[in-house]
């Protein structure tokens, strides 16, 4: 079989006696939009952190474009083309937004000769992509939560990832902000519209609780429960999957695909 674009093989992560991620395997194709869903505590964030090299898995492999990146350092993983955003946003509060983004791209693909002017141009493009270009010179500290989420995404895409991991991008957003960010994510995925960044489609792995919003934008869904993948398929298939519905029983979660 041809090499997958991105593949996780038998990944396991334990915290003491707790198996947070339990022998998880899946693939993501080039340019594919994949949702990772599951109840609280099912291991979604831990899995993302293992992929990004923030946590070291106990066993299993992460393969990106045919290369085993499992034990690589986070900064090398980002350089290689995978970036992520986190549930809790932590900007440099006293730096202007544009500098928050510049810091992110500085530590990654600053090519020889690429210095502040080019870096700033790239950072501004990333802000434009996420719809907050007008806030470039504002300190991050004054941004409302919705715009901070956009800033996080701008920081991640400024590193020009081929695979973007988003951990609860809609968390804490109101319906209007969620809708706007959903549109940005779709636009990001298509790429090309604002300048040079992402002229090719970007693959994404998105963790989110707001399933209705998520189902509108993804090609495929992976479902985690107690650290294990209990279902995968298209949004329509997942919405009918008995195991998945049971995992969510008792919660007011409607897995609406249409």
Name the β-bridge partners of 206. 35, 166
CA 46 centroid distance within chain: 13
- Please select the residue that binds ligand ADP; options are 32, 42, 239, 244, rule is CB under 6 A: 42
**Do 148 and 135 touch, CB atoms closer than 8 A?**
no
Q: How many residues does the chain have?
A: 258
What CA–CA distance (Å, rounded) separates 91 from 171? 16
Q: With CB under 6 A as the contact rule, which of the stretches 13-21, 97-105, 136-144, 184-192 interacts with ligand ADP? A: 13-21
- 3-state class (DSSP) for residue 45: helix
Q: What are 204's two structure tokens?
A: 């994404």
* Cβ closest to ligand ADP, residue 41 vs residue 195: 41
Binding ligand ADP (rule: CB under 6 A), the pick from 26, 28, 32, 44 is 44
Q: State in angstroms the smallest separation of the CB of 253 from ligand ADP.
A: 14
- CA dihedral sign, ordered 169, 253, 6, 71: positive
Assigned token pair, 125: 């493009």
Asked if residue 40 binds ligand ADP (CB under 6 A), the reply is yes
Closest approach of Cβ 227 to ligand ADP, in Å? 7
37: contact with ligand ADP by CB under 6 A:
no
Size of the site for ligand ADP (CB under 6 A): 11
- Residue 45 binding Mg ion, by CB under 5 A: yes
15 sits near ligand ADP (criterion: CB under 6 A) = yes
Q: Considering the rule CB under 5 A, would residue 42 count as an interface residue with Mg ion?
A: no
Q: Residue 39: which of 256, 258, 245 has the closest Cα?
A: 245
Instruction: Quote the CA–CA distance of 75 and 209 in Å, as a whole number.
Output: 28
Stretch of 3-11, 40-48, 92-100, 223-231 contacting Mg ion, by CB under 5 A: 40-48
Binding site for ligand ADP (CB under 6 A): 15, 18, 20, 38, 40-46
């Amino acid at each position: 079989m041809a090499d997958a674009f991105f593949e996780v093989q038998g990944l396991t992560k334990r915290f003491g006696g707790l198996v947070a991620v339990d022998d998880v395997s899946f693939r993501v194709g080039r340019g594919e939009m994949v949702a990772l869903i599951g109840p609280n505590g099912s291991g979604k964030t831990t899995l993302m952190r293992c992929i990004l090299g923030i946590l070291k898995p106990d066993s299993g492999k992460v393969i990106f474009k045919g290369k085993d990146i499992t034990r690589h350092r986070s900064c090398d993983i980002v350089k290689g083309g995978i970036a992520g955003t986190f549930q809790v946003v932590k900007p440099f509060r006293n730096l202007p937004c544009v500098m928050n983004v510049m810091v992110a791209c500085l530590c990654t693909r600053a090519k020889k000769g690429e210095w502040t002017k080019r870096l700033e141009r790239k950072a501004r493009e990333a802000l434009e992509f996420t719809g907050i270009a007008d806030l470039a010179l504002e300190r991050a500290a004054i941004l409302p939560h919705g715009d901070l989420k956009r800033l996080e995404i701008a920081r991640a895409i400024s590193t020009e990832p081929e695979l973007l991991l988003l951990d609860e991008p809609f968390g804490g957003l109101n319906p209007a902000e969620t809708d706007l960010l959903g549109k940005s994510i779709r636009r990001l995925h298509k790429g090309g519209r604002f300048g040079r960044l992402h002229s090719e489609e970007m693959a994404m792995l998105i963790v989110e609780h707001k399933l209705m919003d998520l189902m509108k934008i993804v090609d495929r869904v992976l479902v985690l429960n107690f650290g294990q993948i209990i279902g995968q398929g298209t949004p329509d298939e997942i919405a009918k999957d008995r195991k998945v519905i049971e995992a969510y029983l008792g919660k007011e979660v409607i897995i609406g695909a249409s």
